[in-house]
Structure 1
Amino acid sequence: MILVVSGPSGSGKTTVAKSLANKYGLRFVSGGQIFREKATVLGKDLVSLNKEAERDFDIDRIIDQEILNQAKGANVVIESHIAGWILADESTVSVYLWAPLEERAKRISQRDQIPYDKALMTILEREQSHYYRFWKYYGIDIQDTSLYDLVINTSKLTPDKVLGIIEYFLDSYIRLTPGK
């Protein structure tokens, strides 16, 4: 089984993906963590590496190839902004989580213990870079969620409620499609 959890920063994708991995006994792979590790190795922050990736497709190509390699092992939950698109033909189920910008900035501000305004600006800078790069390199409109099996607005839901919705969907899906 290959489960994909995508969405913008602060939507809850990492929290939910880790919980799904634990619940179903699957490996957890974070595209965001792969990107963060690359930034650390290069001595850059996330916004700087995103800006560099706008000029150098090899940065995204290497990270995306690692995500694809991890998916080949199956029995995995992959969390990534772009995984839904690059794994569209391989994933068993793909989920897209989102929340309004203000809610995501509030969550990131609390999570990272930074001022709300800084969280908001960081999200805007990173998302602008994502929109640009994913369109430029892949022809992907990351606002088009039509390829996802399940799309959830997480703004008024606890992580446990989001997990419950996904578990219900997965259990129903697995019952209806034996062998998946």
Structure 2
Amino acid sequence: MGIVLTISGEHGVGKSACAKLLAQTLNLKYISSGEIFRLLAREKGMTLEEFSSYVEKNPEIDREIDGETVRAAKEGNVVIDARLSAWKAREYADIKILLTAPLEVRVKRLAERDHKTYKESLEETLKRELSEKERFKKIYNIDVDDHSVFDIIINTELWSLNSVVKILKTIVEEYITSSS
């Protein structure tokens, strides 16, 4: 099957950047539920906030996106970048990683990335995260604030992207060595 790594975290922690670079560094496939979500929002001509509200009334969209996570995990040799990846791919995941950062840091990153004001990004982030928290509890009975499912938790405020990937690469290499 090959190794399966999950990377979870709130918006703006650097999940996608970290997961992409880690996948590239380890020569693994990369899948992102966030990219799928944003693509579906664009296809419907909606903002992320509008699409989040739409998805609240259409839970089959979350199930479809999360189904992609499980399919990728079953195939193996993958880094899965998804808020629920640790829960959804649990039985297939070798290492479940949670990235964190303070809200202020995350919102600043999102504002810069999306070319929005801090205030706009803060409002959007708080709404999206509340929507997700409520949806995931309702649909899957998952409490995203329960971090007990994770093997590794890293605060991305403390290190650069390259340093976080270097740390994770070392952890993965040690895992592979100790599993042999």
Pick the aligned partner of 1:141 from 140, 143, 155: 143
Paired residue secondary structure (2:157): coil
Give the alignment partner of residue 14 of structure 1, picking from 9, 16, 20. Answer: 16
Q: Of residues 123, 126, 146 in structure 1, which corresponds to 2:125?
A: 123
TM-fit CA distance, 1:156: 2.1
In the superposition, the TM-score normalised over structure 2's length comes to: 0.95
Counterpart of 2:6 in structure 1 is 4
Pairing of 1:34-53 with structure 2 (within 5 A): 34-53=36-55
CA shift at 1:149, angstroms?
1.0
> C-alpha displacement at 1:113, in angstroms?
1.7
Deviation at 1:143, TM superposition (A): 0.9
User: Mean alpha-carbon deviation: is it higher for 63-72 or for 129-138?
Assistant: 63-72
For structure 1, the 5+ residue unaligned runs are none
Count residues in correspondence: 178
Aligned to 2:16, the other structure's residue is in SS state helix
Moved over 4 A (4+): none
Match of 1:84 in 2: 86
Which amino acid letter does the alignment assign opposite residue 81 of structure 1? R
RMSD of aligned residue pairs (Cα, Å): 1.1
Correspondences of 1:137-176 after superposition (within 5 Å): 137-176=139-178
Are the aligned partners of 2:8 and 2:82 in contact in 1 as well (CA < 8 Å)? yes
Within a 5 Å distance, the mapping from 1:47-126 to structure 2 comes to: 47-126=49-128
More off after superposition, 63-72 vs 24-33:
63-72
Please tell me the residue identity of whatever aligns with 1:49: F
Q: Deviations over 1:19-60 (max 9, x none)?
A: 111111111111101111111222211111111222221110
Deviations 1:132-171 (A, max 9, x none): 0011111111011111110111112111111122112112
Preserved CA contact (<8 Å) 2:26 2:169: no
Gaps of 5+ in 2: none
